[in-house]
Structure 1
């Protein structure tokens, strides 16, 4: 089974507007809609995908969660949104009311810093309610945005939160693999493999070393759809020179275990 941990989705009309602005300076490869994602998954042989929906401002948290909460659960795993300007209880209630499985944090687009105590308060509440988190970690924006998501904040952010399940996207250091190796590799997180425009642009021997030093059982595949093509990214994972067991874990088994859906992998 292949599970994609990193697929951004929007309502159809909003997807067109968002992608027309070339987020983080990248040209989208696909259309950002749920139907488009389903077609992409079918073509790439992907069984399940985490559908990530992010509210840039507090006032859109509820309607964003209402949207992603309606996805087809046979193919999509809905990851919704929170915002530090809302009370923690309101954030959690919005997720629960809409049947949201997990949360995406995005320091580039939200006024949310990995160094902010409010973010740690949110993570603590999510962990208490059994809600996993995936977060953009690293660069991709201007100086202020990059500082909010800097890898150096990650170890302190996640340390000592009982039950926290945290996925650090982009190996925990987008556009700064040195920082990822210094701060994210070995931290109490799962690392995720996406690296737009493609994981294949990185040296395979270095990535293989990062995966094994962190623990291949704590690394999950993600594409960052629609900014990359998942089939190309799966090929990149398969070109890293991992063992068959390591590769199967990265492509789906590790994430299934993290999300508590192992029975789907063995079915």
Structure 2
């Protein structure tokens, strides 16, 4: 079972506007819509995708969660949004109202540090509800954003909220491999593999060493679609030379367990290695 932990989606009418601004300075390889993602999943052999939604401002949390809570759960796992501009109770209520059990946190776009006491308090409340938190970690659009999502905060989160299932995107240090090695690796977080524009731009031995050091059961595959193609990222993982059981865990087994997913009867086409 292949599960992609990191796919951004927007309503059909909004997706072109968002992608036209080249978020994070990247050129998209997909259209950012649910239908577009489903097509790519079928082409690249992905069974389930975590669909991520982010509200940059507190006033958009309700509408964003309503959209993401309505995805097709046969193929998608909705990751909603929270914001410290709302009370803890309001955030939890909006997740509950839409049946959402996982959230995406983005210090770059949301303007909140992973180490902010209000964020830690919110994470504690999410941990009590067994809500999974997946967060961007590493370089942001400017120095302030990079500081909000710095790798060192991974240990702050996991040490202050040890019961939280915390998934650190980009191996816990996007474009800051030193942070991956010094702060994220060996932490209490799960590390997610996306590295747009592609994981194949990193040295394979360095990546495989991090996976082995951190533990193959604590690393999960993510593509960061529509900024990267799932098939290309899966090919990069397969080229690392991991043992078959490790590859099975990383590409879906571990995340399926965390999210309570079961293999679908649906058979998705298995493509080779799309460009």
Q: Return the alpha-carbon distance in structure 1 between the equivalents of residues 31 and 265 of structure 2.
A: 32
TM-score between both structures, scaled by the size of structure 1: 0.97
Question: Relative contact order (C-alpha < 8 Å, sep 6+): which is higher?
Answer: 2
Determine if contact 1:58/1:86 at 8 Å carries over to the other structure.
Answer: yes
Q: Does 1:73 find its partner at 2:73?
A: yes
**Where does structure 2 lack aligned partners over 5 or more consecutive residues?**
267-275
TM-score, normalized by length of structure 2? 0.94
Cα deviation, residue 180, structure 1: 1.1
Contact 1:256/1:265 (<8 A) preserved = no
Aligned equivalents of 1:43, 1:195: Cα separation in 2 = 21
Matches within 5 A, 1:1-267: 1-261=1-261, 263-264=262-263
Provide the secondary structure at the position in 2 that maps to 1:104: strand
Secondary structure of 1:188's counterpart equals coil
CA distance in 1, matches of 2:13, 2:140: 25
CA RMSD of aligned residues (A): 1.3
Over residues 182-204 of structure 1, what are the superposed CA-to-partner deviations in whole Å (9 max), with x where a residue is unaligned?
Answer: 00001111000000000000000
Q: Classify the secondary structure of the residue corresponding to 2:51.
A: strand
Residues matched between the structures, number = 266
Residue 258 of structure 1: how far off its partner (Å):
1.5
Spell out structure 1 runs of 4+ moving beyond 6 A: none
Say if 1:147 and 1:162 are closer, same or farther in 2 by CA, change over 3 A. Answer: closer
Q: Secondary structure at the match of 1:78?
A: strand
Structure 1 residue 160 displacement after superposition = 4.2
| Contact 2:162/2:188, CA 8 A, preserved across alignment | no
Superposition deviation, residue 140 in structure 1? 3.1
Deviation at 1:265, TM superposition (A): 7.7
